[in-house]
Amino acid sequence: MTAVVPRVPDDVAKVLIDPRAYADERLHNAYSWLRANCPLGKAEIEGFDPFWVVTKHADILEVSRQNDLFHSGDKMTTLGTQEGERFVRQMTGGSIHLIRSLVSMDAPDHPKYRTLTQAWFMPNNIKKLEGRIRELAEDAVDKMASRGGVCDFVQDVALHYPLRVIMEILGVPDSDMPRMLKLTQELFGASDPDTARDGDTSGMSGQDQRAPVLETIADFYAYFGKLTADRRANPSDDLASVIANSTIDGAPISELEALSYYVIVATAGHDTTSSSTAGAIWALAENPDQFRLVKEDPSLIPSLIEEAIRWTTPVKHFMRSATADTELAGQTIRKDDWLMLCYASGNRDEEVFEDPFIFRADRKPNKHLAFGYGSHVCLGQHLARMEMRILFETLLPRLKTLSLAGDPKLTQAIFVNGPKTLPIRFDLAA
């Protein structure tokens, strides 16, 4: 084992904590440098607990497959400041988690809670939804067609289509969709002035910056608290009823876990799919050869989807902590060490992907890490793939031309981010 701990240079480490860097080329420049020069190094940044930065595909897999050795919930599951952790502990009475969902659970709780809804998201079950999802896709394309050849694909299509799917699965009425979308953007885009609850919070103190996030979570809990009460009194065949009436070890699921379950399904269940869908259109608009390739051979739609998911990688990182001393990539990892799994870096790893910075709709194999790996692999991965497949099966035959009509923009967020504006110009068949 190596005795000297490699240190991530301060200028590179600061990129990893800067939400603005996730909206431009600085993030991937930093990742590329790290993979080449410091693939597993420790970042030491004032105001943060030290953390290992894991940038190589193989190392991310190694951590992800060892859930007993690398826990998700012992420390913060996403990167946060020491001040932020103290604030959360004060708010929760000691817990480091404002939301206790699957992503922040470890065994034995994680498999118990995951099993509650896992059957809902398996291919055999979601296949029953295909007809309805196709209707929603057709409606989305019709609305795009009504824009007269120019639209913001994110605002007009990508945000709404996956949201309608997950709201129907949950059993939330269409009339509440704007509220769910706004709350999701406020939660995941809390550091972006265009989506934050109180706009640009960069000049606020740390505590003032966190207050809008707490308000957003409180709004989620208030909404889903009423939904839980209703589904317990009037259960139906939707996913909300499954969650509301679930039991763990013979006892009803707690209010915190139920509300957290709703939040993760309602947010991650559509936001990441929206980002990957928009990422595909962005890439096709910038690469006419790839657009023609898929147009001429629709059998490439599944590989287009996988490449779009790799290319966009909406979930940029999760944190893990070591439960014992171990070794990773020749480095000594000590018990309680904190690790940042950089999925977007692993998905551009030159040792795994040929020409990783080139978008290839026919890329095979495509062993991307965007859905995670191991027991924490994304519960909704099959649904996300099906939604995207159906949308592109519906859209591509009608899409004659496609190009950018302005400069796209990404959200400024270090945890989950993707396109927030995508102006395109297009011609559709009648």
What pLDDT is attached to residue 270? 87
The C-alpha atoms of residue 420 and residue 227 are separated, in whole angstroms, by 29
- Provide CB contacts within 8 A for 142, sequence distance 6+: none
**CB-side exposure of 130: number of CA atoms within 13 Å?**
13
What pLDDT is attached to residue 272? 93
Residue 2 lies inside a defined structural domain of this protein: no
What pLDDT is attached to residue 430? 66
What pLDDT is attached to residue 1? 46
What pLDDT is attached to residue 205? 43
Burial of 196 (0-12, 13-18, 19+ CB in 10 A): buried
pLDDT in tens, 356-384: 999 999 999 999 999 999 999 999 999 99
The C-alpha atoms of residue 88 and residue 81 are separated, in whole angstroms, by 11
Residue 3 lies inside a defined structural domain of this protein: no
Residue 270 lies inside a defined structural domain of this protein: yes
Residue 1 lies inside a defined structural domain of this protein: no
Residue 80 lies inside a defined structural domain of this protein: yes
Q: Cis bond leading into 365, ω under 30°?
A: yes
pLDDT tens-place values along the chain, 430 residues long: 446 899 999 999 999 999 999 999 999 999 999 999 999 999 999 999 999 999 999 999 999 999 999 999 999 999 999 999 999 999 889 999 988 999 999 999 999 999 999 999 999 999 999 999 999 999 999 999 999 999 999 999 999 999 999 999 999 888 998 888 888 888 877 888 888 887 555 544 445 456 788 888 888 889 889 999 999 999 999 999 999 999 999 999 988 898 889 888 888 888 899 999 999 999 999 999 999 999 999 999 999 999 999 999 999 999 999 999 999 999 999 999 999 999 999 999 999 999 999 999 999 999 999 999 999 999 999 999 999 999 999 999 999 999 999 999 999 999 999 999 999 999 988 6
What pLDDT is attached to residue 202? 57
What pLDDT is attached to residue 82? 95
Enclosing domain of residue 342: 10-428
What single DSSP character describes residue 5?
P
The C-alpha atoms of residue 285 and residue 279 are separated, in whole angstroms, by 10
Give which of 101, 256, 263, 102 is closest to 184, Cα–Cα: 263
For residue 223, the tally of other CB atoms under 10 A from its CB is 19
* ∠ Cα 247 271 419 (to 5°): 165
What pLDDT is attached to residue 297? 98
Count the domains in the chain: 1
Residue 4 lies inside a defined structural domain of this protein: no
What pLDDT is attached to residue 360? 98
Residues constituting the chain: 430
What single DSSP character describes residue 21?
G
CATH number at residue 213: 1.10.630.10
Give which of 311, 274, 284 is closest to 399, Cα–Cα: 284
What pLDDT is attached to residue 255? 87
Provide the mean pLDDT of the chain. 93
Residue 176 lies inside a defined structural domain of this protein: yes
Burial of 335 (0-12, 13-18, 19+ CB in 10 A): exposed
DSSP one-letter string for 182-193: HHHHHHHTTTST
Residue 94 lies inside a defined structural domain of this protein: yes
What pLDDT is attached to residue 200? 53
